[in-house]
Chain A
Amino acid sequence: MIYGWAGKILNVDLSKGKVSTETLSDEARRYLGGRGINAWLFWNHSKPNQSPYDEETPLIFGAGALAGTGLIGASRMEVTTVSPSKTESYSYGNVGMGGLWAPELKFAGYDHIVVKGRAGKPVYLYVYNDDVEIRDARDIWGRGTFETESMIKEDVGDEDIQVASIGPAGENLAVQATVEHGYRSGTPLGAVMGYKKLKSVAVRGTKSVNVYDPEKVLELNRILVEKVREAKKLNVSIPRNKGMDAYLQGFLVGDAGVVGDYEGHAWRERPDIKKAYEENALGEYFEKDIGCFGCPFPCQPLFNVPEIGACIWRCYPTYWPWKLWMTDLKASFKATRMMTDLGMDNKEVATIVSWLMHLYNERKISSADLDGIPFKRGSTQALFETIRKIAYREGFGDKLADGPLLFARNLGSDIADTLIHNQGLTMRTFEFRAEPGTALGEAISERGNSLRATTYHVVIWDKPAREGYKGLPPEEKAAALAWSKKMFGTEKAIIATEYEGKPAALIYEMNGAAVTDSLGYCTTMIRPSRVGAPGSQIGDMSYNFAAERFTAATGIEIDEAGLFKYGERICNLERAIVVRDGKCREKDTIPEFFFKVPIPDGPLAGRKLDKERFERMKDEYYLLRGWAVSSGLPKGSTLEKLDMRDVAEQLGKMGKLGGEIEEE
Chain B
Amino acid sequence: MEKVIQVDIEKCVGCRTCEVACSLKKTGRVYPSRSRIKVIRFEKRGEFHNYVPMVCQQCSTPLCMDACPLNAISKDPNTGAMIINEEACVGCRVCTVACPIGGVSLDPVTNVAFKCDLCNGDPECVKYCEPQAISYVPKDKLDLQTKRAKSKRFSELFLLKL
Query: Which of B55-63, B81-89, B124-132 is near enough to bind chain A?
Result: B124-132
* B12-44 residues at the A interface, CB under 8 angstroms: 13-17, 20-21, 23-25, 27-34, 40-44
**Interface residue? A381 (CB, 8 A):** no
* A592-626 residues at the B interface, CB under 8 angstroms: none
Contact check, A296 vs B130: say whether CB atoms are below 8 A apart.
yes
**Interface residue? B154 (CB, 8 A):** no
**Interface residue? A395 (CB, 8 A):** no
Give the interface size class of chain A.
35 or more
* A335-351 residues at the B interface, CB under 8 angstroms: 337, 340-341
Q: How far is the CA of A337 from the CA of B47 in the complex (A)?
A: 11
**Interface residue? A316 (CB, 8 A):** no
Shortest Cβ gap from A305 to chain B (Å): 11
A218-B24 in contact given A107-B32, A228-B130, A293-B16 (Cβ < 8 Å): yes
A310-B17 in contact given A69-B30, A222-B128 (Cβ < 8 Å): no
Query: Which of A208-216, A367-375, A508-516 is near enough to bind chain B?
Result: A208-216
**Interface residue? A291 (CB, 8 A):** yes
Contact check, A310 vs B24: say whether CB atoms are below 8 A apart.
no
- Binary interface encoding of chain B residues 119-154 relative to chain A, with 1 for a CB under 8 A from any of its CBs, else 0: 000001001111100000000000000000000000
Q: How far is the CA of A222 from the CA of B21 in the complex (A)?
A: 10
A208-B31 in contact given A214-B24, A296-B15, A298-B15 (Cβ < 8 Å): yes
Contacts of A309 in B (CB 8 A): 46-47
Q: Which of B21, B43, B46 contacts A218 (CB 8 A)?
A: B21
Contact check, A160 vs B15: say whether CB atoms are below 8 A apart.
no
A296-B24 in contact given A70-B30, A214-B29, A309-B46 (Cβ < 8 Å): no
In the complex, the chain B residue whose C-beta lies closest to that of A295 is B15
In the complex, the chain A residue whose C-beta lies closest to that of B127 is A222
Contact check, A310 vs B124: say whether CB atoms are below 8 A apart.
no
A302-B49 in contact given A150-B44, A214-B29, A295-B17 (Cβ < 8 Å): yes
Contacts of B161 in A (CB 8 A): none
Contact check, A229 vs B130: say whether CB atoms are below 8 A apart.
yes
Shortest Cβ gap from B111 to chain A (Å): 14
**Interface residue? A292 (CB, 8 A):** yes
In the complex, the chain B residue whose C-beta lies closest to that of A107 is B32
Q: Which of B15, B33, B127 contacts A294 (CB 8 A)?
A: B15
Contact check, A294 vs B20: say whether CB atoms are below 8 A apart.
yes
Contacts of B13 in A (CB 8 A): 288-291, 296, 298
Shortest Cβ gap from A219 to chain B (Å): 10
Query: How many chain B residues touch the partner (CB < 8 A)?
Result: 35
Contact check, B15 vs A150: say whether CB atoms are below 8 A apart.
no
**Interface residue? B48 (CB, 8 A):** yes
Contacts of A295 in B (CB 8 A): 15, 17
**Interface residue? A217 (CB, 8 A):** yes
Q: How far is the CA of A149 from the CA of B130 in the complex (A)?
A: 29
Q: Which of B15, B23, B124 has the most CB of A within 10 A?
A: B15
**Interface residue? A432 (CB, 8 A):** no
In the complex, the chain B residue whose C-beta lies closest to that of A292 is B15
A146-B29 in contact given A222-B128, A296-B13 (Cβ < 8 Å): no
**Interface residue? A311 (CB, 8 A):** yes
Shortest Cβ gap from B6 to chain A (Å): 17
In terms of DSSP, what is the predominant structure of the interface of chain A?
mixed
Q: How far is the CA of A68 from the CA of B29 in the complex (A)?
A: 10
Q: How far is the CA of A217 from the CA of B108 in the complex (A)?
A: 24
Contacts of A144 in B (CB 8 A): 46
Contact check, A150 vs B45: say whether CB atoms are below 8 A apart.
yes
Contacts of A228 in B (CB 8 A): 130
In the complex, the chain B residue whose C-beta lies closest to that of A297 is B130
* A305-343 residues at the B interface, CB under 8 angstroms: 309-311, 337, 340-341
Contact check, B41 vs A159: say whether CB atoms are below 8 A apart.
yes
Contacts of B45 in A (CB 8 A): 145-146, 149-150, 182-183
Contact check, A210 vs B49: say whether CB atoms are below 8 A apart.
no
Contact check, B46 vs A208: say whether CB atoms are below 8 A apart.
no
**Interface residue? A28 (CB, 8 A):** no
Contacts of B29 in A (CB 8 A): 208-211, 214
Contact check, B15 vs A211: say whether CB atoms are below 8 A apart.
no
Contact check, A72 vs B17: say whether CB atoms are below 8 A apart.
yes
Contacts of B40 in A (CB 8 A): 159
Contact check, A311 vs B24: say whether CB atoms are below 8 A apart.
no
Contacts of A225 in B (CB 8 A): 127-128, 130
Shortest Cβ gap from B106 to chain A (Å): 13
Shortest Cβ gap from B98 to chain A (Å): 24
Contacts of B48 in A (CB 8 A): 304, 310
Contacts of A210 in B (CB 8 A): 29
Contacts of B27 in A (CB 8 A): 208
Contact check, B130 vs A294: say whether CB atoms are below 8 A apart.
no
Q: How far is the CA of A415 from the CA of B40 in the complex (A)?
A: 53
Shortest Cβ gap from B93 to chain A (Å): 18
Q: How far is the CA of A211 from the CA of B30 in the complex (A)?
A: 7
Contact check, A218 vs B25: say whether CB atoms are below 8 A apart.
yes
Contacts of A208 in B (CB 8 A): 23, 27, 29-31, 33-34
A146-B24 in contact given A225-B127, A292-B15 (Cβ < 8 Å): no
Shortest Cβ gap from B27 to chain A (Å): 7
Q: How far is the CA of A421 from the CA of B25 in the complex (A)?
A: 51
Contacts of B108 in A (CB 8 A): 206
In the complex, the chain B residue whose C-beta lies closest to that of A217 is B24
In the complex, the chain B residue whose C-beta lies closest to that of A228 is B130
Q: How far is the CA of A291 from the CA of B128 in the complex (A)?
A: 15
Contacts of B21 in A (CB 8 A): 70, 218, 221
Shortest Cβ gap from A76 to chain B (Å): 14
Shortest Cβ gap from B59 to chain A (Å): 26
Q: Which of A145, A159, A310 contacts B47 (CB 8 A)?
A: A310
Shortest Cβ gap from B107 to chain A (Å): 12
* A156-215 residues at the B interface, CB under 8 angstroms: 159-160, 182-183, 206-211, 214
Shortest Cβ gap from B85 to chain A (Å): 24
Contact check, A211 vs B24: say whether CB atoms are below 8 A apart.
yes
A sample of 13 inter-chain contacts (CB < 8 A) reads: A72-B128, A146-B44, A146-B45, A159-B41, A206-B32, A207-B33, A208-B27, A221-B20, A294-B20, A296-B15, A302-B49, A310-B46, A341-B46
**Which B residues form the contact surface with A (CB < 8 A)?**
13-17, 20-21, 23-25, 27-34, 40-49, 108, 124, 127-131
**Which A residues form the contact surface with B (CB < 8 A)?**
68-70, 72, 100, 103, 107, 144-146, 149-150, 159-160, 182-183, 206-211, 214, 217-218, 221-222, 225, 228-229, 288-298, 302, 304, 309-311, 337, 340-341
A206-B33, A290-B13 known, 18 other contacts, Cβ within 8 Å: A70-B17, A72-B17, A107-B32, A107-B33, A149-B45, A150-B44, A182-B45, A206-B32, A210-B29, A211-B28, A211-B30, A225-B128, A225-B130, A289-B13, A298-B15, A309-B46, A310-B47, A311-B46
8 A-B pairs with least C-beta separation: A146-B46, A208-B31, A70-B20, A296-B130, A208-B29, A206-B33, A70-B30, A209-B30
